Amino acid sequence: MLAKRIIPCLDVTLDEKGARVVKGVEFVNLRDAGDPVELAKRYDEEGADELVFLDITASAQGRKTMVDVIERTAEEVFIPLTVGGGIKSIEDINEMLSAGADKVSINTAAVKNPEFVRKAAEIFGSQCIVVAIDCRRNFDLSKGKYFVELEDGRKAWYEVVIYGGRKPTGIDAVEWAKKVEELGAGEILLTSMNRDGTKIGYDIPITRKISEEVKIPVIASGGAGKPEHFYEAFTAGKADACLAASIFHYREIEIEELKRYLKERGIPVRI
């Protein structure tokens, strides 16, 4: 069995002070978590399996991802680095890979132009094309296609949202996950906006549903607060990897300690 991966996420913004890692709840009320290069270096040393670097305001601000920060980060880490935010052309992907990224994460641009995913996978290979899917629960059952039963017994479908969760699209997240797999994406980074930053646990119903519907790896994101949440995502949620941010940034959970916890419970992890 393939080892399950633990992936810290650096949500990065650019302001007058330069590039900073931030964390909020549902992508708002952001607070500073430090310098991206320093944090990336720390996670590499602490035993993270991969790193995800998301420029969370690039698309909304209509600018490119910060190349210089990627270059400096790539120089400091020796684990796979995925970069996302504002990537909307083949040239952008080429620039990120040239700057030291191993994979790129496409979100808004994929929704607006699905053929971009196919073209990117053909040129660079599926292994380095990650499609990020941000989604939110929708209880209007007249509109969705794939319904899941929630923890409280209610039914809902999950709607894809773009621009950092700001804009609903009307697209069913499960249908979209199947579509991007067909287009050539090598991995899905799935974030439940209902759970982002809440620390109440990953959104198991949608994580499990998408993991069952696609053959490519699914990274669970949004809601990690304690070691049990990672265990649930790997077992009940059937995720291949778990991504988290604030609990690692503020040292609420140490990666080494988390991996020991998982290994003791039979989850295959690299230690």
Catalytic residues: 11, 134
Closest CA to 71 of 83, 59, 60: 83
Q: Are 239 and 220 in contact (CB under 8 A)?
A: yes
Closest CA to 54 of 65, 44, 68: 65
Q: Looking up tokens 């923890």, which residue turns up? A: 151
Q: Return the ∠ at Cα 161 (arms to 160 and 166), rounded to 5°.
A: 170
Integer Cα distance of 19 and 37 in angstroms: 9
DSSP string covering 75-136, please?
Answer: HH--S-EEEESS--SHHHHHHHHHTT-SEEEE-HHHHH-THHHHHHHHHH-GGGEEEEEEEE
Q: Considering Cα of 17, then 37, then 230, then 213, what sign does the dihedral take? A: positive
Instruction: Find all residues with CB under 8 Å of 117, minimum gap 6, and list them.
Output: 106, 110, 129, 131, 180, 183, 184, 185
Specify which residues 221 forms β-bridges with. 191, 243
